[in-house]
Amino acid sequence: MNSIIEAKNLRKQFGELTAVDGISFTVRQGESFGLLGPNGAGKTTTIRMVYGFSPMTGGSLDVLGRDITREWRAIRGEIGVCQQENTLDPDLTVQQNLVVFARYFDIPQSGVLDRVEELLDFISLKHRRGDRVTNLSGGLVRRLVLARALINNPKLLILDEPTTGLDPQSRHQFWGRLEELKARGLTILLTTHYMDEAYRLCDRLIIMDHGKILVEGNPRDLVHTYVGKEVIEVEEPSEELKKWVVKRRFDSENLGHRLLIYSREGSGLFHTISTKYCTGGCNLRMATLEDVFLKLTGRELRE
């Protein structure tokens, strides 16, 4: 089995609204695959179809080589899901959350306590095992959700915005854990709004909007293809510069008080601009995935 997820022409309709509009993608064994897109793009809906939470409206979807519509139960037994919302059981302690969750799977109960200890160790929460989960900080909650998703030794880990709302320390901690899992060969499907997260974790990703896939590829390649190497940002650009950029047909974006020039030419262009046209702020920085994202999905607000 080489492909872990095989989606063909996947569609989801909520009444009049088409949330997912015929997308096709493949996630391969051992790969970290990202779903990116603005709010309402259809990321969470897609993920929910993958773990059989939402019934699909059309298309076909195989997970771990099985049809999700018919074999959802067997599939769910072999995947781990970190949902966007905190679904930990506030009535139970840290340890009980894992023990009780383990029962929901058809796994032998004899080794569960050892597995729970192993996971508490993995997320460095051993010393808090008796605490109620309502007393945990946001970062610890996410780590516990991750541990819970791993209780059944899944072949596929699904993460829906795993680090939203975490402080930088907690995010980096969390990424470290995911990279460890990745190194062990676990296949990961994740959605995120953080481009640095996607860039760091994903081997391949798709950017979605309005239920459709805009682009698919490796994050570095996407940056290279759609933006280039560097970005020159000019604050309060002069009319002269704006005209010059258009005349020279540079790939650029005029945001009014700010001008972005996507450059593939190294520092020569920056030198020219900064000495000839810049009066105020003028910066040269590396092109990022965020540039690709904004370029493809636009800058207007969604909600």
Partner 1 sequence: MKTRYEVTISRRFFKIWRRNFTVYKKIWLISFLPPLLEPLFYLFAFGAGLGALVGAVMYKGSMVSYGAYIAPALIAVNIMYSAFFENTFASFVRMFYQKTFDGMLATPLSLDEIITGEIVWGATKSVFATALMLAVISAFGLLTFPHALLLLPLAFVGGFAFGSIGMFFTGIVPTIESFNLPVFLFITPMFLFSGTFFPADNLPGWARGAALAFPLTHLVNLSRAVSFGELQGRLLLHLLYLVLFSAVFFPLALLTMRKRLIR
In the complex, minimum distance from the CB of residue 89 to partner 1, in angstroms, rounded to a whole number: 6
Q: Considering the rule CB under 8 A, would residue 191 count as an interface residue with partner 1?
A: no
Binding residue for partner 1 (CB under 8 A) from 39, 67, 89, 285? 89
Nearer to partner 1, 32 or 97 (CB): 97
Report how many helices (DSSP H) and strands (DSSP E) the chain contains, helices first.
11, 14
Q: Considering the rule CB under 8 A, would residue 87 count as an interface residue with partner 1?
A: yes
Query: x/- contact string, 6-45, with partner 1 (CB under 8 A)?
Result: -------xx-------------------------------
Q: Considering the rule CB under 8 A, would residue 59 count as an interface residue with partner 1?
A: no
Strands 32-36 and 58-63: unpaired
Q: Considering the rule CB under 8 A, would residue 60 count as an interface residue with partner 1?
A: no
Q: How many residues bind partner 1 (CB under 8 A)?
A: 32
Q: Considering the rule CB under 8 A, would residue 143 count as an interface residue with partner 1?
A: no
Mention every residue, 6+ apart, whose C-beta is less than 8 A from residue 246: 252
How large is the C-alpha radius of gyration of the chain? Answer: 22
Binding residue for partner 1 (CB under 8 A) from 105, 122, 175, 244? 105
In the complex, minimum distance from the CB of residue 1 to partner 1, in angstroms, rounded to a whole number: 20
Cβ proximity of 225 and 235 under 8 Å? no
CA angle, residues 157, 162, 164, in degrees to nearest 5 = 170
Binding residue for partner 1 (CB under 8 A) from 2, 73, 183, 301? 73
Binding residue for partner 1 (CB under 8 A) from 4, 88, 136, 190? 88
In the complex, minimum distance from the CB of residue 52 to partner 1, in angstroms, rounded to a whole number: 8
Mention every residue, 6+ apart, whose C-beta is less than 8 A from residue 153: 115
Q: Which stretch binds partner 1 (CB under 8 A): 97-105, 118-126, 169-177, 205-213?
A: 97-105
CA 94 – CA 126 distance, rounded (Å):
9
Cβ proximity of 250 and 263 under 8 Å? yes
Mention every residue, 6+ apart, whose C-beta is less than 8 A from residue 107: 77, 152
Q: Considering the rule CB under 8 A, would residue 57 count as an interface residue with partner 1?
A: yes
Beta bridge partners of 61: 7
Q: Considering the rule CB under 8 A, would residue 135 count as an interface residue with partner 1?
A: no
Binding residue for partner 1 (CB under 8 A) from 2, 17, 106, 127? 106
Cβ proximity of 7 and 195 under 8 Å? no
3-state secondary structure 186-254: CEEEEECCCHHHHHHHCCEEEEEECCEEEEEECHHHHHHHHCCCEEEEEECCCHHHHHHHHHCCCEEEE
CA 6 – CA 50 distance, rounded (Å):
10
In the complex, minimum distance from the CB of residue 293 to partner 1, in angstroms, rounded to a whole number: 27
Q: Considering the rule CB under 8 A, would residue 101 count as an interface residue with partner 1?
A: yes
Q: Considering the rule CB under 8 A, would residue 92 count as an interface residue with partner 1?
A: yes
Write out the two tokens for 201.
Answer: 């974790």
Nearer to partner 1, 79 or 223 (CB): 79
Contacting positions for partner 1 (CB under 8 A): 13-14, 48, 51, 53-55, 57, 73-74, 76-77, 79, 81, 83, 85-92, 96, 100-101, 103-106, 149, 152
